[in-house]
């Protein structure tokens, strides 16, 4: 049998997105559990847990969000060290996996990025390809708002240099040189302006 994966939603089988914990301790994506049908067509305010059938009130759902979606919109992003300087943001999907594993208090997880398996070590705050444990890079977790004024340079997302996005005629260095998204093609190594950063984040993080 497949192993039980605590950071996977049992309804969509994806990493939990806006996780909700029901009174019975089962966890689902907010939208997945919100979408399940109630026991009758007329009474849709009470539903039953998809795992154990314990009834719950849908009014509880928003209160039981595990994430902090308060007015400050505290959203955390994960970054990994560039080869020679600065940091890359993880892509949005990997970020979600990391964030969920972090909340599950895991010591380490293995994630797959473009077919390569990377070990993310939350204790030592490093990552490395599982086939090349010597290729260690540091990782960081930062509140999104802080990264804009952060004390470290953010180069882009997963090897996609944000500053190159505006110059569409220039062939992308990420497309041909390597199939490994975590590869770091060092060019100028410039940091991002606040404006570029907010562009990155508004594209990747559109929270309601």
Q: Which stretch binds another protein (CB under 8 A): 8-16, 55-63, 135-143, 171-179?
A: 8-16
189/191 Cα distance (integer angstroms): 7
Interacting positions 53-82 with another protein (CB under 8 A):
53
Q: How far is the CB of 47 from another protein (least distance, A)?
A: 11
CB closer to another protein, 81 vs 97: 97
Closest to another protein by CB, 27 or 77: 27
Write down the least CB distance from residue 41 to another protein, Å: 12
Residue number, 94 or 127, with CB nearest to another protein: 94
Kindly state the smallest distance separating residue 115's Cβ from another protein, in Å: 15
d(CA 138, CA 125): 6
String of DSSP letters for 107-142: SEEEEEETTEEEEEETTTTEEEETT-TT--EEEEEE
Task: Tell me the closest approach of the beta carbon of residue 18 to another protein, in angstroms.
Answer: 17
What are the residues whose beta carbons fall under 8 Å from the beta carbon of 166, sequence distance 6 or more?
none
Least distance CB 103 / another protein (angstroms): 21
The verdict on 123 binding another protein (CB under 8 A) reads no
Residue closer to another protein by CB (options 41, 149) is 41
Contact mark string toward another protein, 24..53, x via CB under 8 A:
--------x--xxx-x--------x-xx-x
Whether the Cβ atoms of residue 82 and residue 135 lie closer than 8 Å to each other: no
- Nearer to another protein by C-beta: 48 or 64? 48
Angle 59-61-65 from CA coordinates, rounded to 5°: 145
Whether the Cβ atoms of residue 120 and residue 98 lie closer than 8 Å to each other: yes
> Going residue by residue from 125 to 144, which x/- string records binding to another protein, judged by CB under 8 A?
--------------------
Residue owning tokens 């969509």: 12
Least distance to another protein, CB of residue 167, Å: 32
Q: Which residues bind another protein (CB under 8 A)?
A: 1-2, 10-14, 32, 35-37, 39, 48, 50-51, 53
């Amino acid at each position: 049998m497949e192993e039980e994966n605590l950071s996977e939603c049992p309804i969509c089988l994806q990493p939990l997105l806006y996780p909700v914990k029901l009174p019975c301790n089962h966890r689902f994506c907010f939208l997945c559990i919100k979408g399940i049908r109630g026991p009758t067509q007329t009474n849709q305010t009470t539903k039953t847990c998809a795992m154990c059938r314990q009834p719950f009130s849908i009014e509880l759902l928003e209160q039981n969000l595990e994430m902090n979606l308060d007015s400050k919109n505290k959203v955390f992003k994960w970054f990994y060290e560039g080869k020679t300087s600065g940091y890359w943001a993880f892509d949005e999907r990997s970020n979600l996996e990391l964030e969920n594993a972090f909340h599950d208090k895991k010591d380490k997880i293995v994630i797959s990025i473009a077919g390569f398996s990377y070990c993310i070590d939350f204790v030592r705050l490093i990552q490395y390809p599982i086939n090349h444990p010597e290729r260690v890079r540091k990782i960081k977790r930062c509140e999104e708002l802080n990264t804009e004024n952060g004390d470290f340079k953010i180069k882009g997302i997963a090897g996609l240099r944000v500053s190159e996005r505006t110059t569409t005629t220039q062939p992308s260095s990420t497309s041909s040189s390597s199939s490994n998204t975590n590869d770091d093609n060092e060019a100028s190594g410039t940091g991002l302006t606040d404006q570029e950063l907010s562009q990155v984040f508004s594209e990747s993080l559109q929270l309601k």
